[in-house]
Structure 1
Amino acid sequence: MIYLDNAATTAVLPEVAQSVTDTLLSTYGNPSSIHGLGREAAKVLRSVRESIALLLDAKQNEITFTSGGSESNNTAIIAYALANQEKGKHLITTAIEHPSVLKAMAYLEERLGFEVSYVQPNPDGSYTAELFEQVLRPDSILLSMMWANNETGQLMPVAEVGDILADHQAAFHVDAVQVMGKILVHPADIKADFLSASAHKFHGPKGVGFLYHKAGLRFDPLIHGGEQEEKRRAGTENLHSLVGMARALEIAQASLDEKYAQVASLKQHLLDGLEGLDYYLNRFGESLPYVINIGLSGQNHDLLLTRLDMEGIAISTGSACTAGTVEPSHVLEAVYGKADPRLKENIRVSFSELNSFEDIDQFLSVLKKIIQ
C-alpha cells in the first residue's frame, strides 16, 4: 500500500510505539491514586506535561490533556463561550474550518442562542486579517480559526489576527492540528489564548491530544466527574498514549526544517510528474507542502478514489471526519459555490517524511493509467 493520506492520520513511529508499550507494562497505576504505583504514574504524567509545555514554550498549568483535536476544539469553543457569555454572545469563525469547530459553533448557535459570524474567503479563496476585523464587534467573545486547512494546506493569517485581538476582549482559539510537528508552534508568538493539537497527526497514537490555554482564562469543564487535569477535564488520563504523544512531538521538533524541506521536495516531484494531465490546483495563497489538493478535469473523484484504492494507493478527497458522506467539500464550496463541478473533481494527496520519491512515482503511474 502506498499511503498518501497523512492529513487524515500518520503512521506511528516504532520508537513511539515502544514508549507506549513500555509504559503500558511498567506504569499501570492510576495517576490519581496515592499509593506508590499511583505516585509513580503521576510522576510520569508530570514529566509528559513538562515536555509538552517546554516544546510549546508554555507553562505546565497551561496544558490540558484531551482525547484529541475534536475534544480540544469543542472545549475551547463551548466551554469558553458558556463560561463567558455575560460578556457577549457573538462568536467568529471561518467557513472552511474542521467539522469539530463548525458543529461546535452550530450547537451554540442553534441550542443556546449564540450568534456566529462565518467569515467567507475572498473571491480568490484567500483569507486576510481584514476580513476578521470587519466582523469583530464589542460583544464578540471568541474567534476560532485553523492555522492550516486540512483539505488544501492553506495557511491562515493567525499571527495577524492575533495582533488584531490583542486589545479586544475576544479570546483567540487556533486549531493547530495540521501544523503541530511540522512547523514551530509557540502559542504566545501568535497571541493565541487557546491552541488545539492531536497526536495522530504527527506520528503519535490516536485518541490523545492536548489543549493549550493561556494562564488565567476562565472556561467550564466539558467533561464532568473527577478532579483530574486540575478540575478542567474529568477522567483518568490515558497515560501510555500521552507518553507516546510527547515522544512523537519531541522527535518531530528535533528536525523540523529538515523534514519540511524533504516534504517540499516530494510535493514538487508530484507536481513535476503531473505534467501532461488536464489538472489544476485548489490552492488559495501560501500553503503547507504537506497537503496538495488537485482538481482533475472531468474525473469523478469518488470513482477515482475507488480505482486507486484497488491499485493499492491511499489518498482522499478531503477531511477524514466527513468520510462516507455524499456531501461535497465545504472548503471548496466556500470558494467556488455549491453548483461548481470542481467540487466533484478534487483529490487530496498528503505527505509525511516517511514517504519517498518511489511512492510518488507509483502513484503517478497508477493515476495516469486510470485516467488514460
Structure 2
Amino acid sequence: MIGRYFDYNSTTPLDPRVCQVITESMDIYGNPSSTHGSGQKARLAIHSARQHIAALLHGEPEELYITSGGSESNNWLLKGYLSQWAGTPVHVITSVIEHPSVKETLRYWRDAGGGEITYIPVDAEGFISPQAVMDAIRPDTKLISIMLANNETGAIQPVQEIARIAGSRGIFTHTDAVQAVGKMPIHVRELGVDSLSFSIHKLYGPKGIGGLYLQSGYKLDPLLHGGGQEQGLRSGTENVLSLLGAAEACRVAMLDMERSQVKLLWCKRLLVEKLRAIAPGLKINGSLDSDRTLANTVNLCIPGIRGEALAAYLDHRYGIAVSVGSACSSNHQKKLSYVLQEMGLDEADIRSSLRISMGKFTDEMDIHYLLESIESALAHFNQLMPT
C-alpha cells in the first residue's frame, strides 16, 4: 500500500498522471531519427518533452542531455570533463558524503593517474563549509563536485556559495542534484553550477531515465559513439515513452512542489514530535532546520534498538517500508553508513539509526499509522530485552 511507503529517497511510485501520459503515448512508436511521418511524430514529442524537463531546472533544452539516470550522468560528467587533462595530473575537490557514483568515479580517475582528490569533511549535522572548500583550492584545481542534498540526512549543501567561489577562480563546478530535483526549486543559473545531474524516478517518473545539465560552452567526450543522438555525445535511439513520462513528471513537479513541501514539513514536525514521546532517548541525525534540509527526510537514532531489526519488523509485521540508510558503505564488512560515520556518530548509534523519507502521497493518517507501528515495535523489542 502506498500509504505505508516511507522510502521515497530510494525511489518514488509513479504519479497517476505520468502513467496516463505513458499509456496514451503507446501509439508513438516511430524512430525519432526516421524522416517519415511516424518518426517525425516521435521527434516532435521528444522535442516537447525536452522543453518540459529543462523548464523544471529553469535551463535551456540545448543544455540538457538525456541519460539513464543520475549515476550515469555523474560518471559521464566526471570522466568526460577530466579527460582533457589526460596525462597531466590535476586536482579535484569533492566531499566525504558524495554518492558512490561520484566517489567511485573519482577514485577510478585518480587510480588511473588522473591526479589528486581533496575530500571536504562535514560537521556534526552533515553540512559542508564553503570556507573549507575555498581553503582546499590549489592552482591546479580543475573541478569541484559537491552534492546538492544528501540522500540519508536531507542536508542541503551550500552549493550556490561554493559555485560562486569556484567561478571566481575559473573552476568548473558540478553538483549531484538527484535528491534535490523535484523536491526544492532549482534555477541552474542562480545556483551557479556548470553541470547538474538528476534522476526522474526520484520525482514520481519512470526508472532508467535522467539527465545531465551542462552549461553552454562546455563539451564532454562522447559517452556513446554512433548515431549522433544527444548532440552527438550519447548515441542510441531515444526511449520515447520514458522521455514523455519524464516530461510529465517534471511538469507535475512544478505544479505540486509548493503544496507538497508545506504538507511534508507539517508531517515531519508531527512525526518528530510524536516520536520523541514514544522513544524518549530519540536522537536526530542531522538538522531539522527547514531552510537547510529536505522537507521529506528524517534520519533518527533510537539507542539500544538495531535499525535493521526495527526496519525488518515494521516491514513484515505492518507492511511499512523504511530504510537504514545507504547500502553503499565504505565499510563493506560492517555495512555502516559512511555518511553517519563522517558526521561523527559511533558504531552503536549508526546501527540504531533509521531513515524515514516521505512523499507527496504521504498524509496524516499514514504518519499516525507509522507512529503506532513504531510504538508497538518498540514495546515488542523491549519485551525481548533483558532488564
- Name the TM-score class by shorter chain: over 0.9
- Alignment map for 1:88-127 (pairs within 5 Å): 89-123=90-124, 125-127=126-128
User: Residue 283 in 1 paired to residue 286 in 2?
Assistant: yes
AA of the residue aligned to 2:373: V
AA of the residue aligned to 2:300: I
Residue 326 of structure 1: CA displacement?
4.8
State the alpha-carbon separation in 1 of the partners of residues 13 and 209 from structure 2: 15
State the alpha-carbon separation in 2 of the partners of residues 21 and 53 from structure 1: 23
Give 1:133's aligned residue. 134
State the alpha-carbon separation in 2 of the partners of residues 32 and 320 from structure 1: 40
- Alignment map for 1:173-192 (pairs within 5 Å): 173-192=174-193
Residue 81 of structure 1: CA displacement?
0.9
CA 1:125–1:208: 2 relative to 1, 3 Å = closer
What is the TM-score when the length of structure 2 is the normalising length? 0.91
Give 2:354's aligned residue. 347
- For residues 288-345 of structure 1, what are the alpha-carbon distances to aligned partners after superposition, in whole Å with 9 as ceiling and x for unaligned? 12111010101111111111110211000113666x98511010011116x5321111
Residue 88 of structure 1: CA displacement?
5.6
AA of the residue aligned to 1:290: N
User: Residue 4 in 1 paired to residue 11 in 2?
Assistant: no
Alpha carbons 1:90, 1:142 under 8 Å: kept: yes
Identical aligned pairs, as a percentage?
36
Alpha carbons 2:314, 2:320 under 8 Å: kept: yes
Residue 104 of structure 1: CA displacement?
0.9
Alpha carbons 2:197, 2:211 under 8 Å: kept: yes
AA of the residue aligned to 1:239: V
Alpha carbons 1:87, 1:141 under 8 Å: kept: no
> Structure 2 residue aligned with 1:357, among 364, 369, 375?
364
Give 2:326's aligned residue. 319
- For residues 211-237 of structure 1, what are the alpha-carbon distances to aligned partners after superposition, in whole Å with 9 as ceiling and x for unaligned? 100001121122333211011112111
Give 1:209's aligned residue. 210
What is the TM-score when the length of structure 1 is the normalising length? 0.95
- For residues 254-298 of structure 1, what are the alpha-carbon distances to aligned partners after superposition, in whole Å with 9 as ceiling and x for unaligned? 132211101001101101211231210001462112111010101
Give 1:300's aligned residue. 306
AA of the residue aligned to 2:306: N
Query: Which secondary structure state, in structure 2, belongs to the residue aligned with residue 211 of structure 1?
Result: strand
State the alpha-carbon separation in 1 of the partners of residues 334 and 224 from structure 2: 32
Alpha carbons 2:173, 2:193 under 8 Å: kept: yes
AA of the residue aligned to 1:139: D
State the alpha-carbon separation in 2 of the partners of residues 251 and 87 from structure 1: 45
Alpha carbons 2:91, 2:117 under 8 Å: kept: yes
- Alignment map for 1:62-77 (pairs within 5 Å): 62-77=63-78
Residue 136 of structure 1: CA displacement?
1.0
Query: Which secondary structure state, in structure 2, belongs to the residue aligned with residue 229 of structure 1?
Result: coil
State the alpha-carbon separation in 1 of the partners of residues 60 and 141 from structure 2: 27
> Structure 2 residue aligned with 1:330, among 315, 322, 338?
338
State the alpha-carbon separation in 2 of the partners of residues 151 and 237 from structure 1: 32
State the alpha-carbon separation in 1 of the partners of residues 301 and 176 from structure 2: 26
Alpha carbons 2:7, 2:322 under 8 Å: kept: yes
- For residues 35-74 of structure 1, what are the alpha-carbon distances to aligned partners after superposition, in whole Å with 9 as ceiling and x for unaligned? 2211111111111112222332222210000001111111
Alpha carbons 2:91, 2:141 under 8 Å: kept: yes
AA of the residue aligned to 1:11: P
Query: Which secondary structure state, in structure 1, belongs to the residue aligned with residue 206 of structure 2?
Result: coil
Give 1:200's aligned residue. 201
State the alpha-carbon separation in 1 of the partners of residues 124 and 212 from structure 2: 33
Q: Which moved more, 1:275-284 or 1:63-72?
A: 275-284
Give 1:245's aligned residue. 246
User: Residue 366 in 1 paired to residue 368 in 2?
Assistant: no
Query: Which secondary structure state, in structure 1, belongs to the residue aligned with residue 110 of structure 2?
Result: helix
Alpha carbons 1:274, 1:364 under 8 Å: kept: yes
